[in-house]
Amino acid sequence: MAIRTMRTNRNGVWRNWAGNVIARPARSIAPSSTAELAEVVRQAAEEGLRVKAVGTGHSFTAAAATDGLLIRPERLAGVREIDREAGTVTVAAGTPLWQLNHTLAAHGLSLTNMGDIMEQTVAGATATGTHGTGRTSASIAAQIRGLELVTADGSVLRCSAEENPEIFSAARIGLGALGVVSAITFAVEPEFLLTAHEEPMPFDRVMTDFDQLVAGNEHFEFYWFPHTGNCNTKRNNRTTGPAAPLGRVSGWVDDELLSNGIFQVACSVGRAVPATIPGIAKISSRALSARTYTDIPYKVFTSPRRVRFVEMEYAVPREAAVTVLRELKATVERSGLRVSFPVEVRTAPADDIPLSTASGRDTAYIAVHLYRGTPHRAYFTATEQIMTAHGGRPHWGKLHSRDAAYLAEAYPRFGEFTAIRDRLDPERLFGNDYLRRVLGD
Within 10 angstroms of residue 243's Cβ, the number of other Cβ atoms is: 13
Give the separation between CA 436 and CA 441, rounded to whole angstroms.
6
Position 261 confidence tier, pLDDT thresholds 50, 70, 90: low
Of 154, 176, 149, 121, nearest to 1 by C-alpha is: 154
pLDDT given for residue 260 in this prediction: 60
Q: 143: which strand partners? A: none
Q: Give the gyration radius of the chain's Cα atoms.
A: 21
Angle at 377 between CA 223 and CA 326, to 5 degrees: 40
Under 8 Å between Cβ of 36 and 44 = no
Give the separation between CA 124 and CA 181, rounded to whole angstroms.
9
pLDDT given for residue 416 in this prediction: 98
Under 8 Å between Cβ of 150 and 156 = yes
Least confident range from 78-87, 178-187, 247-256, 299-308: namely 247-256
pLDDT given for residue 259 in this prediction: 60
Position 9 confidence tier, pLDDT thresholds 50, 70, 90: very low
pLDDT given for residue 212 in this prediction: 98
pLDDT at 6 over 50: no
Q: Omega into 73 within 30° of 0, i.e. cis?
A: no
Under 8 Å between Cβ of 149 and 179 = yes
Angle at 399 between CA 133 and CA 363, to 5 degrees: 30
Position 270 confidence tier, pLDDT thresholds 50, 70, 90: confident
Under 8 Å between Cβ of 374 and 269 = no
pLDDT given for residue 251 in this prediction: 57
Position 249 confidence tier, pLDDT thresholds 50, 70, 90: low
pLDDT at 10 over 70: no
Classified as helix, coil or strand, 335 is helix
Q: What are phi and psi of 147, to 5 degrees?
A: -155, 160
- Taking every pair of C-alpha atoms in the chain, what is the biggest distance, in angstroms? 63
pLDDT at 7 over 50: no
Under 8 Å between Cβ of 66 and 23 = yes
The order of strands in the sheet holding 230-239 is 291-295, 193-202, 230-239, 219-224, 343-348, 363-371, 309-317, 393-394
pLDDT at 1 over 60: no
The fraction of the chain above a pLDDT of 90, given in percent, is: 84
What mean pLDDT do residues 261-267 have? 70
The string of DSSP codes covering 344-359 is EEEEE--B--TT-TTB
Under 8 Å between Cβ of 433 and 412 = no
Of 287, 276, 184, 294, nearest to 238 by C-alpha is: 294
What mean pLDDT do residues 352-379 have? 96
